[in-house]
Structure 1
């Protein structure tokens, strides 16, 4: 099987920091893979640069989300990255955090730990409020839209650039 067909069949991907969203391999990812020879194709490389740009926008939005959450949770000790993951997943897919005796958990991620249940309850209540915050929802929606756009770009433009060569 030639490298183009293998690339299109495998759809090499990677995960975005913190949110674990799967996206198509960017330039750097391909440079370190069996598909690096595809970077010799100028058409393909140009399309890949668009993908890199969209990925940078996602990173910017994730950083903004982290800043917003850091501000809103400044009075509490939380794991900011796990909190961002949790908020994103709850906004986009639904779900709830689990408040235990000494921690708040979502999926396998610990968001906060502590001995005082009242403090943990306050964090859980704030998470519940934040998931309805317009700015937070908008950031999460934008991240999801951009991630979906990356796959659309892969399926249309990257595929076309390779097939035309």
Structure 2
């Protein structure tokens, strides 16, 4: 068991949050489907992972809220809402830019919308106003802070209970 614990702590298994694609520590389902599933037999570890699951659920609710807020502001445009949500989050949190083409709006390798140049410009203007919306900025910040807190939880609490369990065996 000590080898599995050591491997788990070194690997820091992760999964991605939906839509915003942020890496977070593996939760219960992720661990159940991995080579680390036996760690869930350690009660204190399982309890800490359940806390992680609760935080993940809270973050996913924030992501859903962000997606709804953005959808409400762009519902008159033909746009991929999940990719637009991803782009707005990353633009706000990481300062990345959009690429306006003569018939498309892109972010990184994602095509957010296609259409006439004037429609693309109009959408771009709406996105600019969304990125300045205090509620949107606040949601993005909360998602980032909460996802960072998952790693803090991993590094402080999960690491501690596994080290304690390893020392007992």
TM-score by length of 2: 0.95
Query: Matched residues in 1 for 2:37 and 2:96: separation?
Result: 39
**CA-to-partner distance for each residue in 1:102-126, whole Å, 9 max, x for gaps?**
1100001111111x11111010111
The structural deviation recorded for 1:40 is 0.3
Matched, 1:66 2:64: no
Q: Distance in 2 between matches of 1:156 and 1:147?
A: 15
**1:48 match:** 49
What is the number of equivalent residue pairs in this alignment?
164
Give CA deviations for 1:4-37 in whole Å, capped at 9, x if unaligned: 0000000000111111100000000000000000
- SS at 2:15 equivalent: strand
CA–CA separation in structure 1 for the residues paired with 2:158 and 2:26: 11
Q: Which residue of 1 aligns with 2:77?
A: 76
> 2:103 aligned with 1:99, yes or no?
no
Secondary structure in 1 matching 2:75: coil
Runs of 4+ aligned structure 1 residues displaced above 4 Å come to none
TM-score by length of 1: 0.97
How far did residue 75 of structure 1 move? Answer: 1.0
Aligned to 2:125: 125
